[in-house]
Amino acid sequence: MADKQQQVVVKRARHKSSVKDPGTPGVLKMTKDRFTFMANDPSSPVKLNVEFRTIKGHKFTKDGTKQALLNLTQDQGGNYIFEFENFPDRNVCKDFVASAIALSGEAGRTVPEKSAVPIQDEQLSAAEMERRIKLLQEDSDLQKLHKQFVIGGILSEAEFWATRKKLLEQNYSRRPKQRVALKNDMWSTKPLADGQSNRVTFNLTPEIILQIFAEKPAVRQAYLNFVPNKMTEKEFWTKYSRAEYLHSTKNVIAAAAEAAEDEELAVFLKQDDMLVNEARKKIRQVDPTLDMEADEGDDYMHLPIQDHGLPRNDNKDVLDSQYEPYRRSFSQHLNQHAAVVLQGRVIDVELGDTRSVAEALARTKHAELAKDASDVYLDKERLERISRMTEIEDLQAPRDPAVAPLSIKDPRDYFDSQQANAFSTLGDTVSGAKQLKCSVSTREAYCSLKECISEIKFQGLTEPTINSEVAFKVLNGLAQNISSNKYHLGRNPNESILDSLPKITREELLLHWSSIQELLKHFWSSYPITTKYLLTKATKLKDAMSQIYPKLQEIKESVQSDLRHQVSLLVQPMLQSSVFMDQAFCCRL
């Protein structure tokens, strides 16, 4: 077998242009970054010198078939087929090629990154892609737009998402996934005791191990220290189980005895110093506005085993102080367990590998310690917090008024009102302002006003109030006006024409509207057209716009005849925008 570290492989082979071709015999020489092929016949034109960077893959025939072939494929579709005399030769070359391709692949990847950033391709991380896909999945309108433009080739991905960065960011930080918390039940220290033999069985699952490491830092530290140097994992856990068993029997003397013999066991039997330190630190950090008296007396790790001042049985006092370190108090254990459970999962490591779990926990603890130690602002923050908590409300300055939530309306509600009149009202106001000129002074104006009033006072109202022909004309005019708007449903002037269309038509119209807006946005953002890229982009956008035009016509025709006028009013600005875009594009120079 070839040595994997081999630098050069030289084999006899035939180079074939296709499988059927008998091929030219020659020598194939492969080094780490290229391979060369020299034909035996010096006059033959076949001479190859190819870098592995261009080779993207390799194919080969199975061992035992008629020919021992190796096919090296290139990115652009070219390939090199070599036939070897026997399979072992071919396999050697095959392995070499595989490693060479892998090597050059890595090398190749680093090189383009240093050069200029490619225009069309974006360096997307997997997370970014995921975000975009999720966003598209959730918003079907966005997906339709995306499909229409990006997949239709009119806009590129980068351009489409350029204006939607806010959406992506928002989405990303939204809902964190729910995680399962730690179990609250404590690991039972009552192992399964086999009544007949003197065996006691403990069951350890990765979950339990995690909990043990979280609750007992000394055990964790011991694990990191002892395994795999001093003992195997199984031995470690056996010792630990023995310690637990001893504790469960509450036989302090026996525990002390065994601890004296076995150094490692002693670690499990003694008090956990790390825990003690942690507890002390926590006491110091208690917010004095919550509990001004928090001090060492509240340190649950240091309580004498009298359990918070409750008197205990006298026989316990007899025991020597040398046995003190070997005592365990249930309340201590319970408190620690509760603290760990409330903290929740702090690490995200897979539970299978015990060592990695231990290391991860150790790391987080270290990080916390380091943070606390180096946190210069910790005290300052505490002081600030204290001063905030002890504020007297009456002496405060008035706060800013509470903010009322905004009521932002969907622009689609205003869709039809805006369309039809956008141009005509403009015309009215402009011309109207010109007409109305008052050439009379204020005093005169008021005079005439007062004259009119006195006129009526003395003459009374005119009889008849209104001429019958005029009245008739007015009524006719009104009736015509109302009947032309006949198909506006209901008396509510705010009901829109959009609602009276069938749902599909409505969706289509709105989709066209949003696509036109998108196209216009990109079109105008690429002005002034100075580079070829912008020119092609603008052309593509213009063409896309002109494709929407017949679709709108179709919609107009498909609608019921009585609604047709209204729909054409709605559609008119959209059609105009396509016309304008054409004109603008033609006049760009």
Which candidate, 537, 538, 541, places its Cα nearest to that of 516?
Answer: 541
* SS3 of residue 220 by DSSP: helix
Q: Which residue number, 45 or 427, has a Cβ lying nearer to other proteins? A: 427
What residues numbered 137-196 form the site for other proteins, per CB under 8 A? 159
Does residue 17 bind other proteins (CB under 8 A)?
Answer: no
Q: Residue from 197, 198, 481, 561 that binds other proteins (CB under 8 A)? A: 481
Alpha-carbon distance values, 110 to 54, 98, 114 (Å): 15, 19, 7
Contact 135, 167 (CB under 8 A): yes
Shortest Cβ 433–other proteins spacing (Å): 7
Q: 132: which residues sit within 8 A by CB, 6+ positions away?
A: 161, 168
Does residue 450 bind other proteins (CB under 8 A)?
Answer: yes
Shortest Cβ 529–other proteins spacing (Å): 9
What residues numbered 223-262 form the site for other proteins, per CB under 8 A? none
Does residue 115 bind other proteins (CB under 8 A)?
Answer: no
Contact 549, 578 (CB under 8 A): yes
Does residue 461 bind other proteins (CB under 8 A)?
Answer: yes
Residues in the chain: 589
Does residue 433 bind other proteins (CB under 8 A)?
Answer: yes
With tokens 């923050």, the residue in question is 381
Contact 268, 240 (CB under 8 A): yes
Q: Which residue number, 20 or 437, has a Cβ lying nearer to other proteins? A: 437
Which helix H or strand E contains 128, and what residues bound it?
A: helix 126-138
Q: How far apart are CA 331 and CA 304, in angstroms?
A: 11
Which of the stretches 134-142, 237-245, 476-484, 542-550 binds other proteins when contact is defined by CB under 8 A? 476-484
Does residue 411 bind other proteins (CB under 8 A)?
Answer: no
Which of the stretches 1-9, 90-98, 240-248, 435-443 binds other proteins when contact is defined by CB under 8 A? 435-443
Which candidate, 93, 89, 82, 73, places its Cα nearest to that of 25?
Answer: 82
Which of the stretches 68-76, 243-251, 354-362, 528-536 binds other proteins when contact is defined by CB under 8 A? 528-536
Q: How far apart are CA 70 and CA 408, in angstroms?
A: 66
* SS3 of residue 71 by DSSP: strand
Shortest Cβ 522–other proteins spacing (Å): 9
Q: Which residue number, 318 or 438, has a Cβ lying nearer to other proteins? A: 438
Which of the stretches 46-54, 233-241, 344-352, 428-436 binds other proteins when contact is defined by CB under 8 A? 428-436
Which helix H or strand E contains 215, and what residues bound it?
A: helix 206-215
Alpha-carbon distance values, 126 to 122, 123, 130, 132, 566 (Å): 12, 10, 6, 10, 48
Q: Residue from 488, 506, 551, 565 that binds other proteins (CB under 8 A)? A: 488
Q: Which residues bind other proteins (CB under 8 A)?
A: 119, 159, 406, 414, 417-422, 424-425, 428-429, 431-433, 435-446, 448-450, 452-457, 461-462, 465-467, 470-471, 473-475, 477-478, 481-482, 485-486, 488, 491-494, 525-528, 530-531, 533-534, 569
